[in-house]
Amino acid sequence: MRVKKYIQLASFFFLLYFISSVSLWAQTASFFEIKGSQEAVPGSLVSKTKDGLTLSQKPYDPNLYGVIAIEAPVIVLNKPSPTSKPIIYYGETLVRVTNKNGDIDIGDFITSSEIPGVGQKATKSGYVIGKALEPLKKSEGLIRVFVNVQYANISPNEEKFNLRAAYKNIVEELSKPENVPNVLRYIFGGLIGITSFILGFVYFGKTLRKGVEGISRNPLAKRVILVAMIWNLAGVVLLSLAGLGLSLFVILY
């Protein structure tokens, strides 16, 4: 019975960890007013300007911000107003696209186009709204895209990751004063996430080894040692989640 309780407790913490991990990949949105005379249709790409958010109409727009939600977002970070719209800037959603710049297949990067609010296939390096999760089977329509605004290094002749090119892109972005805060934020957020995971993994490894050694030396204390190991595991999971949450917060804000 005691072993069963330990298994149930461990399963509970694993389920908690799983749910929290899934939430990190869920749709994240905020409500904003859309400026301009064009109709803000759900699924449209929007960019950030000095006057607010407007429909994107410049290919590889460095000010790409997100997509007007068609479905109700999973995570909403502010309260709506009567005229605001939910803008998804992270997560899977439907996006308006065209094949004007080439056929779109699964895994292709999607960027903005000259058509207001409509995306297209990215065929060169530049800012993108995310990656296509399904192909476009007509000239224009809606497809699922995993939204994650970023600078994509796209080489027509080489699809493999190029460390030198990536380093060059980072240096180029850092050379633009307006991009320095964003680049540093991404680097800092990534370091926080990686560090929290490594620390949690190393600490749990040491705890597990000491627990096994303790049980082998003193079998009578097996129950106490198992309970301590479970609580240590729970602490490591919570620490890792806190680090990942902080990393996500730094990157998004």
pTM above 0.85, yes or no: no
Residue 98: per-residue pLDDT: 95
Query: Two tokens at 163?
Result: 């460390």
DSSP conformation letters of the chain: -HHHHHHHHHHHHHHHHHHHHHHHTS-EEEEEPBPSSS---TT-EEEEETTEEEE--STT-TTEEEEE-SSPPSEE-S---TT-EEEEEEEEEEEEEESTTS---TT-EEEE-SSTT-EEE--SSEEEEEEESS---SSEEEEEEEEEEEEE---TT--S--HHHHHHHHHHHHTSGGGHHHHHHHHHHHHHHHHHHHHHHHHHHHHHHHHHHHHHH-GGGHHHHHHHHHHHHHHHHHHHHHHHHHHHHHHH-
* Higher per-residue pLDDT: 153 or 164: 153
Q: How confident is the model at residue 170 (pLDDT cuts 50, 70, 90)?
A: low
pLDDT score of 22 more than 60:
no
Closest CA to 65 of 22, 104, 35: 35
Q: In the chain, what are the domains?
A: 27-160 (2.40.300.10)
How does pLDDT run across 232-246, given as a tens digit for each residue? Answer: 777 777 777 777 776
Mean pLDDT over the full length of the chain: 76
How does pLDDT run across 81-124, given as a tens digit for each residue? Answer: 888 888 998 888 999 999 999 999 999 999 999 999 999 999 99
How does pLDDT run across 2-15, given as a tens digit for each residue? Answer: 544 544 444 444 44
Residue 164: per-residue pLDDT: 63
pLDDT score of 190 more than 50:
yes
Pick from 139-143, 196-200, 214-218 the range whose average pLDDT is largest. Answer: 139-143
Residue 159: per-residue pLDDT: 47
